[in-house]
Amino acid sequence: MKSRILFLFVVLLFLFLFGEEAFAQWGGISQLKYTRIKCLLTVNDSTVFLAGDNGTFLRSTDNGTTWTNVMQHGIEVDTLLSLGKGGGYIFAGANGVSSVYRSSDNGNSWIAANQGLPSIAVVNAFTWIDSTLYAAANYGVFSSIDNGGHWRIDTAGLGLKQFYPGQSSGMVGITSIRSKKLFAIKSSSGGGVYTSSADSIDWVPIGLETDWGNAIAAIDTNVFVGTPGGIYLYTGSGTMWLSRSKGLPNNGQSCILTTADTILFAYYSGFSTISVNGVYMSSDLGQTWVQINDSIFSGNVVKTMVTTKKYLIAGIQSGAWRLPLASVITSVNDITIHLPTDYVLSQNYPNPFNPSTTVSFTLPLRSFVSLKVFDLLGRGVATIVSDELSAGSYTRQWNAANISSGIYFYRLQAGKYVETKKLILLK
């Protein structure tokens, strides 16, 4: 807990000291010079896996300082596209007959784990809920309840068209949240983002059909998608997305997202000029961004990013750079850490509203949170939040498109704290 608070303080003080842009102390990783990198994976506080083209598959156990080869330990392909973890295993995704490999000994040995996958599957991303592994691939989403030993296809509702050999689109990103919900990005047949309960797979479109991307990440129950048009936050209701692009380039070309606790990192590149390429950081769920850039990123495209306990690591076309997360702090002695100290439920905005409004609240402690809407007779109208959340500040949106005009009440219950406020729906 202490290390988590210290990390949050470091980031917040960084933002305070350096304003909207900071040239942080990035350092090139000399052993990876000219290495073509496609994906990175953090396994624990200091262990990182790196994969890419031309037989590149490396492991570091010291936060990326030194690397050893793990490619020739049972893997029979020369290019890996994705990495994942879960159930005590590490998974590597590829393109072709041997499209998934797994390791149970931290990468020392690998076996093929692709029974049930199409012979020309292209595995782009992994996520894990409870004891089930999910993979986003060109033929849809696949799941496995035996750590990749057997796979089944879960495409109900995705509306995927027939693919041809070598096609690498389909599902390009996937993530999950603690409430056992899945979110996946489709890059073909119109694009868009889809969600499904993990208990019964039935994908439902939730928007961004015309502005899709391939970057997706989650912080608690907040789901972010990076697109050429900006970064968006899913409100948890219908197809409503909130723009989270303040401080980012206006004309985007590509985006990569990664997280560290409640901090969101994004690499963003622009169409108009490479000078806007850079790495950005947000400590308020994407409402504001600060650039933590280095001149190296103005001329190189970042392909993947991860965080360890100490570093943010960015893989580019030919090498990797890393940033000490506490690089701007010289001393933390005798400094007060400003985190939420009280439960607070703010007045919704706008109010009156039509058809959607935003509710904000803060939690001083990790709590199970219930945020519900009631009518004048005390009858439940909607559940906005029903989940366990970490300490911090949150915003949630309620879309009342199917609700009649009138006066309603929204109630926040977190632990022993209960507060109710009035809102007005005016159509």
Dump pLDDT digits (tens) for 141-153: 999 999 888 999 8
Cα–Cα nearest to 226, from 256, 258, 206: 256
For the chain, the C-alpha Rg in angstroms (whole number) is 22
7: part of which helix (H) or strand (E)?
Answer: helix 2-18
Where does 356-427 show beta strands of DSSP type E?
356-363, 367-374, 380-389, 392-399, 406-414, 417-425
- Determine the pLDDT at residue 408: 96
C-alpha span between 49 and 58 (Å, rounded): 6
DSSP, res 352 = S
- Cβ partners under 8 Å of residue 360, min gap 6: 346, 349, 393, 394, 395, 396
- Determine the pLDDT at residue 101: 92
Q: What is the mean pLDDT of residues 325-337?
A: 44
Q: Does 22 have pLDDT greater than 90?
A: no
Give pLDDT tens digits for 198-252.
Answer: 888 889 988 887 666 778 999 888 899 988 778 899 877 778 888 888 888 766 6
Confidence of residue 166 (pLDDT cuts 50, 70, 90): very low
Mean pLDDT of the chain: 81
Give pLDDT tens digits for 42-71.
Answer: 988 889 999 988 888 999 999 999 999 988
* One-letter-per-residue 3-state SS of 11-56: HHHHHHHHCCEEECCCEECHHHCCCCEEEEEECCCCCEEEEECCCC
Q: Does 329 have pLDDT greater than 70?
A: no
Q: Which domains does the chain have, with CATH numbers?
A: 2-324 (2.130.10.10), 344-425 (2.60.40.1930)
Cα–Cα nearest to 151, from 160, 162, 140, 165: 140
| Percentage of the chain lying above the pLDDT 70 cut | 83
Cα–Cα nearest to 236, from 56, 397, 423, 52: 397
pTM of structure: 0.71
- Determine the pLDDT at residue 20: 42
- Determine the pLDDT at residue 212: 64
User: Coil, strand or helix: which one is 275?
Assistant: helix
- Determine the pLDDT at residue 332: 30
